[in-house]
Amino acid sequence: MSRPYKVPVSTLVVVYTRALEVLLIERADRPGFWQSVTGSQDAGESLRETAAREVAEETGIDAAGHELVDWHVTNVYEIFAVWRHRYAPGVTHNTEHVFGLRLPDRVPVRLAPGEHLRYRWLPWREAAGEVFSWSNRQAILMLPDKDAEAAPTAP
């Protein structure tokens, strides 16, 4: 039985700590390609559900216990040719929705076997320089402002 084509709608989730350390994961199918959590939406799923599911699948982190925030940032980009076979014929672009997942501190990470090789926590500026995707880099560079918007205000 053939797998259904991926939906060309995805989420990118910047997982980070209060100290603005960013979790990066290395792709198993492309060693040296570091990224934040990302994945395609499943049929019938909200974007928030997609973000939470992908975080759990790729890192073992339960987003429900933390602050998962829709940053209301959308990117449209051309799908890399090497991954285009995963989509229906003629699909060349993906629409990505950016979320942030704020953790109090670093937490244990359980990588998806076969999907990612390693993980690391890096200061946000350094993390932005390590990711291969322009949209991921842009999201990480927005982190200080987006975190300040999401942080609770003191009484």
Residue 72 in domain: yes
Q: What is the pLDDT along the chain (155 residues), one digit of tens a residue?
A: 566 889 999 999 999 999 999 999 999 999 999 999 999 999 899 999 999 999 999 999 999 989 999 999 999 999 989 889 999 999 999 999 999 999 999 999 999 989 999 999 999 999 999 999 999 999 999 999 999 987 665 44
Residue pair 22/15 in contact (Cβ under 8 Å)? The answer is yes
Instruction: Please indicate, yes or no, if residue 3 is contained in any of the structural domains.
Output: no
**Residue 88 is part of a domain; what is its CATH number?**
3.90.79.10
| Rounded Cα distance, 41 and 119, in Å | 23
Whether 4 maps to a domain, the answer reads no
68 lies in some domain? yes
Residue 111 counted as domain residue: yes
* Residue 116 belongs to domain spanning: 9-150
Please count the structural domains in the chain: 1
1 inside domain? no
Q: Is the pTM of this model over 0.85?
A: yes
